Amino acid sequence: MIFLMSLQEFLNFLKRYFPTFMMAIYAQIFTFAFGIPLMFDSYFKEMPVGDNLRYSFFTGLGLALLASHCNFMIARGYPGWVWIPVVLMTLCLLGVLPTIDYRPHKVFYVLSILFPLLALLLLNSKRHREVRSEWVKLRQKRHRVIAIIRGRRRKKQRQSSA
């Protein structure tokens, strides 16, 4: 990315888009950190505490890895991957809402609702949409540069073999 833009353009790019992108990632991770244990604790009350902690930890870890991979693919210039975090945030929100019947701790319940809403808001923000379109342009530029380099290599190989 540095080779496709000047250093000052890169710093301006980071200054404008990096906070929004990282806040969206952290909101997604906090969604899993608060929502998954709350759902496991509410819906699986009969499960032993050790199993409950183990399953909620590995579920949260797996979903966080999936969301991180999706955000990596978004940063590589594939904006269609944004739908997976959107679906995950929506499912977490819909999974947490009915847990009010189980009388969870109010702070955890509010945070479990706040973080998916914040993540969805950030994913739909104007700045996040702008950065996704910028990353698509950078990906297209990167592919053009790669095609030029491959063409030159092929030309050299043909000349050396002839």
pTM of the predicted protein model: 0.89
CA–CA distances in Å: residue 83 to residues 53, 73, 89, 144: 28, 12, 10, 27
**Per-residue confidence of the chain (162 residues) as pLDDT tens digits?**
447 788 899 899 999 999 999 999 999 999 999 999 999 999 999 999 999 999 999 999 999 999 999 999 999 999 999 999 999 999 999 999 999 999 999 999 999 999 999 999 999 999 999 999 999 999 999 999 999 999 999 988 988 886
> Residue 1: what pLDDT?
46
Q: What tokens does 44 get?
A: 């699986």
Question: What does the chain come to in residues?
Answer: 162
Greatest alpha-carbon span in the chain: 79
- How confident is the model at residue 5, as a pLDDT? 83
Structural domain spans, the chain: 2-161
The DSSP symbol for 83 reads H
pLDDT, position 121: 98
Structural tokens at position 141: 């530029």
Q: Which of 127, 34, 123 is nearest to 81 (CA)?
A: 123
